[in-house]
Amino acid sequence: MSRFAVMLISLLFAAPVLAADGAAPEAMKYLFDEGDARYYAYQDDYFEALVRLDAQQAQSGGFAESAYGALFRPVGGIELRYRMDQRARGSIEAVIEGTARDDQRNEALFRLARLYFQKDQPENALHAVERIRGAVPAAIRADLAFLRANILMANGRNEEAVAVLKDLLDEKSLEGFSSYNLGIALLRSGNNLGYPVYLDRAGRIESDDRAVLAIKDKANLVLGEKLLSENKFEVAKQVLDRVRLSGPFSNRALLSSGWTDASRERFENALVPWSILAEREVADPAVQEAMLAVPYAYGKLGVYSTAALKYETALKAFEGEIGRLGASLSSIRQGELLKSLAREELKQDAGWAVTLRKLTEKPETFYLLDLMASQDFQESLSNYLDLEQLRKKLESWSGDLAAFEDIIRRRRAYYDPLLPGIDGEFRRLESEMRLRSEQRDRIAQLLKAMLTSPRPDLLATADEQIMGKTAARLEKFATPSREKGAPRLYNRIKRLRGVLNWKLNTEYEQRYADTLTQLQKLDQKMDILSRQYRAFVRTRQTTLESYQGYAGVIGSQRRRIAAARENVRALIARQGQALENMAVNELTKRRDRLEAFRAKARFALADSYDRASKTPVRKRDAQ
């Protein structure tokens, strides 16, 4: 049975139907705007995607709600895919209550309504769609109307649903679904003239689409069985014979088709569909019923020996299946089902029910197909697998924390002895640096002042300063009042000073420019020094941060992980128990049904032998 068929089994038990809600790849691209998160989300690893988004949100100090809504369109999509409805609801509500435009708000309300509907909360879903006002995005208009009709039906307001669905009959994307649901809504509202029209319309649709073909089969089956129950055998047979022989609804259609003939005592005709059905997979309830119906028809035709043989075949098959079911029940009680469910291969495939069947080769998987297709089982299984994933993650993080602590311990052991020496040397260099920096600032201030009050003497070289000071000192001794012969020496000193002053004054501009250039070069060196200083401070800070201040965080994480592991362990046990109970109940129900069939077959077998033995030999030969 194909994966698609498994999905469709659920349709059989769910009326009305909701059109498939798989997010199209085109829509997926709007889901996230963060590439890193998208990379994981597109691989269906929603946990890792959410972690990345949350980490980014934490690092950026949190998005404003409106920005959050705009970033992750459709809002709440990723949370829903990770089956975190409560969190998704929070995100959607934030958009609804925020300042979003009408179309954004209405799209959010649509998603909220669908969420409530899927969670079997039709009243809340109705409240959500009733809050929709104003512009609705064109892309969701038809889906919204279809959802509204389904919600109305779930709330028992079938007449209102009829009005909505009639407007959707020409909607191509809902072909088959709208007319089928309209038929069901009319049936539920007691319109016995109206419902056959629309179920018949759904049952005659021409399409290559597998989903449409499935709803077509379903419409024919529902209508055929309804007509059969109303004793309209001829038309019921025509409708039932429209169901494809290979589709997921074919077994029930063949069974009911046989009953439309048998009900008119046309047992030869009834044997045609029943004989086809009786050769199919014996685990199917319709096949089991056909295995009793076939000999029953032969009996009615007076062919008791064949009837007896057929009853015998059915009896053997039922006993074999009862034995297999018993073995399956024991295996489930020993935890084998949960082991199969937790297999790695299963998590790689969205069509896990089919994969499980292929993997395990155990009878329970076939008997459980209907159960597996049910929403409750699927959700429970998904939760079980998610919990298994969480358990492994939490276990691995405990190891990570130990590794982090080891890194911190090693860093502390390495850096702690080194830092005092480094800090001492740094303090010495820092004071020297501060001194040089102050000197540079003084020079800069002097140069600035010299722009308005030139001071050539300040730009004298060391030699010139010594020369100037020497000349000044000699000048004191060579003044004319103190020595007769002084004027000549005095004049020489004065000439010397004159030469010096001349040089300082005539070269002042050049010297000032040269000094400024030197200051700029100094500034470049000072910049490098400052960068080195900042780099050192930062590196030192990073070094300290690489092993200080983690004790609290790691301790807190360890406590949280321990508590979460305990919770996960308890929840896995409860969720596993719930899954096992569902499976055991289903298999027990099927086994009980088979045991009842076996009792019936035994009784009928004896009766057939009895009748066969009483039939005259000539008549038997003729048979």
Partner 1 sequence: MFILLRGFILSLAMGMLSVPAYAEAVSKEQIKSLDEQVQEIKADTLSIATQMRLLEEKLLYPSSTQVALYVSLDNEAKFRLDSIEIQLDGKLVAQHVYAVRELEALRKGGVQRIYTGNSTVSEHGLKVLIRGKTKDSSDFRETNSFKFSKDEGPRVLEVHLVDSDAHRINFRDW
- Is omega for the bond preceding 487 within 30 degrees of 0, making it cis? no
DSSP tag of 458? G
Of 124, 75, 77, which is closest to residue 98 (Cα–Cα)?
75
Residue 58 or 138 with smaller CB distance to partner 1 = 58
- 39 contacts partner 1 (rule: CB under 8 A): yes
CB 234 within 8 A of CB 211: no
CA distance 623 to 305: 9
397 binds partner 1 (CB under 8 A): yes
* 50 touches partner 1 (CB under 8 A): yes
3-state secondary structure 124-178: HHHHHHHCCCCCCCHHHHHHHHHHHHHHHHHCCCHHHHHHHHHCCCCCHHHCCHH
x/- mask, partner 1, residues 102-141, rule CB under 8 A, reads ------------------x---------------------
Cβ of residue 259: shortest distance to partner 1, in angstroms? 7
| Closest by CA position to 257, among listed 232, 276, 275, 238 | 238
Least distance CB 285 / partner 1 (angstroms): 9
Closest among 223, 259, 322 to 590, alpha carbons compared = 322
In the list 268, 281, 345, 376, the residue contacting partner 1 (rule: CB under 8 A) is 376
Q: State the DSSP H helix or E strand holding residue 248, giving kind and residue range, or none if neither.
A: none
Per rule CB under 8 A, count of chain residues that contact partner 1:
81
Contact assessment for residue 117 and residue 154, using Cβ atoms and an 8 Å cutoff: yes
Of 473, 581, 606, 613, which lies in the binding site for partner 1, with binding defined by CB under 8 A? 581
Q: Which is nearer to partner 1, 353 or 460 (CB)?
A: 353
Q: Please enumerate in sequence order all residues whose Cβ is within 8 A of that of 142, keeping only pairs 6 or more positions apart, or say none.
A: 168, 171, 173, 174
To partner 1, the closest distance from the beta carbon of 617 in angstroms equals 30
Tokens of 280: 């199919």
* Residue of 41, 286, 356, 459 interacting with partner 1 (CB under 8 A): 41
Please, what is the minimum distance in Å from the beta carbon of residue 568 to partner 1? 6
Which of 152, 580, 605, 612 touches partner 1 by CB under 8 A? 580
Within residues 190-249, the interface with partner 1 by CB under 8 A covers: none
Q: Is 595 in the site for partner 1 (CB under 8 A)?
A: yes
Contacts of 440 (CB under 8 A, 6+ apart): 519, 522, 523, 526
Task: Report whether 217 contacts 248 (CB < 8 A).
Answer: yes
Stretch that binds partner 1, among 70-78, 105-113, 457-465, 590-598 (CB under 8 A): 590-598
Residue 70 CA to residue 33 CA, distance in Å, equals: 9
| Residues 290-309 close enough to bind partner 1 by CB under 8 A | 292, 296
Q: Please pick, from the candidates 568, 605, 608, 612, the single residue that binds partner 1 as defined by CB under 8 A.
A: 568
Residues 535-564 that bind partner 1 (CB under 8 A): 535, 538-539, 542, 545-546, 550, 553-554, 557, 560-561, 564
Footprint of partner 1 on residues 57-96 (CB under 8 A)?
58-59, 82-87
Q: How far is the CB of 397 from partner 1 (least distance, A)?
A: 5
Of residues 53 and 186, the one with the C-beta less far from partner 1: 53
